[in-house]
Homo-oligomer: A and B are copies of this chain.
Amino acid sequence: MTPLNPSFAEDVARSFTQQPIMNLIGARLSLVEPGVVEITLPYRADLTQQHGYLHAGIITTVADSACGYAAFTLMPAGSNVLSVEFKVNLLRPAQGKEFVARAEVIKPGRTLSVVRADVFTIRDDERELVATMQGTMICVGKKE
């Protein structure tokens, strides 16, 4: 998948710093390639639900941003991306020191792009899948 926007990586990085929620939860952008984005989130006790696992909504937060930016890497310069919908299956309790959401574009499109994200926990140097997302992102024109 060839990017239409030569400065896609810088544009993703700039947009990411403009998502205050990423700062609040302590997430960082860890990989940006054409059609693929990873976001890394260290475990923090204040991000959890009643059993001490990462809350499903926080898993979704990093997976959704990873999906949006993965789609964005293949959009023309000056585009904006919004989430249309997503579906998440929670596979295992989200325990571990660090989580990585890896999103890959399955089908890019001029208007709609379909993206998948897997969320892994890193335990003993092994990636273990804790959740998977399948979603639709939309390309909208420049916002003034």
Contact = CB atoms under 8 A, between A and B. Distances in A.
A136 interface: yes
Interface of A: 15, 18-21, 23-24, 45-51, 55-58, 60-65, 80, 82-93, 106-107, 111-112, 114, 116, 129, 132, 134, 136, 138, 143
Helix, strand, loop or mixed for chain A's interface?
mixed
B47 A24 contact: yes
A54 to B, nearest CB: 9
B51 A57 contact: no
A69 to B, nearest CB: 10
28 contacts: A18-B50, A19-B48, A19-B55, A21-B48, A21-B57, A24-B46, A24-B47, A55-B61, A56-B60, A56-B61, A56-B83, A57-B57, A57-B62, A57-B65, A58-B61, A60-B60, A60-B61, A60-B64, A82-B90, A83-B90, A84-B90, A85-B87, A85-B136, A86-B87, A86-B88, A91-B107, A91-B114, A116-B132
Q: Residue among A46, A56, A138 with the most chain B CB within 10 A?
A: A56
Contact of A64 (B57, B85, B89, B111): B57
A27 to B, nearest CB: 10
A136 B65 contact: no
